[in-house]
């Protein structure tokens, strides 16, 4: 359980991030909401406190489209907490049209992978200061469509929103497996998950045929409460104590895509991410 533990949740103002943060607070954790908008972040914080009666809910600002903002957000968290027990990398975006981040990288890859890669590495000392910490990264079944083509980080050779999203979600899994290997024996577990097809405003930028199919499927989608269950399970359940380097769906270990197990691709993505973010990342064990 997470009573008295410090849990950081990104993308915590709506959808499964908000539910995850709320339920961890209900369990008695000190929860740090990471959000890009102060007004929405404060509203989420107040709503969680009102629903749970737990006043130990904090806000730290970070816009994941800017690596400088991620660094500032991490500094804000670390100024308050020298120990972090749980980091839930939940924030994500789907972009229908090609856009670039503040640092000039394709926005989906920047927000969904580079930002959590940097944040995790910036918080690693605090995570390793905990007796037993967890890093939980929200990926997607869409990662099965990823090809591991990370050599066009500005999407200059053509753009597809669905392809960019799939590549970013594959990056989440590759990152988790490489992180778990580097953290072996250091008291920090790293796992990732598919939350299911969740009925949120996340895919508001989907267009064309994809938008039509998405809208047709909407009545059959999971609620945010249902979609958050695996994130909460990996963050808090004693059943997964010591489990690391695993992909989960419906609170059970699952096989991820064959490509996600490519150790050479994992290492290449890690090196590229170090280069693009300027992170002083964790050395290989």
Distance CA 85, CA 57 (A): 15
Q: List the one residue out of 9, 11, 37 whose CA is nearest residue 23.
A: 9
Distance CA 44, CA 18 (A): 7
The stretch 203-207 carries a mean pLDDT of 53
> Residue 116 has what pLDDT?
98
> Residue 216 has what pLDDT?
47
Q: For residues 5 and 220, which has the higher predicted lDDT (pLDDT)?
A: 5
Residues 6+ apart with CB under 8 A from 282: 121, 124, 179, 182, 183
Question: What tokens appear for 11 in the block?
Answer: 């993308």
**Segments in 67-135 forming alpha helices (H):** 67-80, 107-109, 115-122, 124-128
Using left for φ > 0, alpha for ψ between -120 and 50, and beta otherwise, residue 98 falls in: beta
Quick check: is 285 in a domain?
A: no
Kindly report the length of the chain. Answer: 285
The stretch 187-194 carries a mean pLDDT of 98
> Residue 213 has what pLDDT?
47
Indicate the range of 8-12, 95-99, 188-192 predicted with least confidence.
95-99
Q: Is 181 exposed, middle or buried (0-12, 13-18, 19+ CB in 10 A)?
A: middle
Does residue 198 register a pLDDT over 90?
no
Q: How far is CA 197 from the centre of its chain?
A: 16
> Residue 218 has what pLDDT?
53
Q: List the one residue out of 143, 155, 152, 170 whose CA is nearest residue 98.
A: 155
Write down the pTM of the prediction.
Answer: 0.92
Q: Which residue matches tokens 């968290």?
A: 77
Count of the separate structural domains present in the chain: 1
> Residue 233 has what pLDDT?
98
167-186 pLDDT, tens digit per residue, is 999 999 999 999 999 999 99
The stretch 138-145 carries a mean pLDDT of 97
Q: Is 68 exposed, middle or buried (0-12, 13-18, 19+ CB in 10 A)?
A: exposed
pLDDT band at 1 (very low <50, low <70, confident <90, very high): confident
Does residue 203 register a pLDDT over 90?
no
> Residue 74 has what pLDDT?
98
> Residue 197 has what pLDDT?
75
* Domain of 178, in residue numbers: 6-277
Supply the CATH number for residue 84's domain.
Answer: 3.40.50.720
Quick check: is 1 in a domain?
A: no
DSSP 8-state assignment for residue 61: E
Catalytic residues: 165
DSSP 8-state assignment for residue 108: H
Does residue 219 register a pLDDT over 80?
no
Indicate the range of 54-58, 112-116, 277-281 predicted with least confidence.
277-281
User: How high does pLDDT run on average in the chain?
Assistant: 92
Quick check: is 23 in a domain?
A: yes
């Amino acid at each position: 359980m997470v009573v008295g533990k410090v849990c950081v949740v990104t993308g915590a103002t709506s959808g499964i991030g908000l539910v995850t943060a709320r339920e961890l607070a209900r369990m008695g954790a000190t929860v740090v909401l990471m959000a890009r908008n102060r007004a929405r972040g404060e509203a989420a914080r107040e709503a969680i406190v009102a629903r749970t009666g737990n006043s130990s809910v904090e806000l730290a600002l970070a816009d994941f489209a800017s690596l400088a903002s991620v660094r500032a957000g991490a500094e804000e968290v670390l100024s308050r907490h020298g120990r972090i027990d749980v980091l839930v990398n939940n924030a994500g975006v789907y972009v229908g049209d090609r856009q670039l981040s503040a640092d000039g990288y394709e926005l989906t890859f920047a927000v969904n992978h580079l930002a959590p890669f940097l944040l995790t590495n910036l918080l690693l000392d605090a995570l390793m200061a905990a007796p037993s910490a967890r890093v939980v990264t929200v990926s997607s079944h869409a990662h099965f469509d990823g090809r591991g083509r990370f050599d066009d980080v500005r999407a200059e050779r053509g753009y597809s929103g669905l392809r960019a999203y799939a590549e970013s979600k594959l990056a989440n899994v590759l990152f988790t497996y490489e992180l778990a290997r580097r953290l072996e024996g250091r008291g920090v577990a790293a796992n990732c998950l598919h939350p299911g097809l969740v009925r949120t405003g996340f895919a508001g930028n989907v267009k064309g045929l994809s938008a039509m199919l998405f809208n047709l499927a909407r009545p059959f989608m999971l609620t945010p409460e249902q979609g958050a269950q695996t994130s909460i399970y990996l963050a808090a359940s004693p059943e997964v104590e010591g489990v690391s380097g695993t992909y989960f769906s419906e609170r059970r270990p699952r096989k991820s895509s064959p490509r996600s197990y490519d150790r050479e691709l994992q290492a290449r993505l890690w090196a590229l991410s170090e280069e693009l973010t300027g992170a002083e990342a964790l050395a290989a064990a």
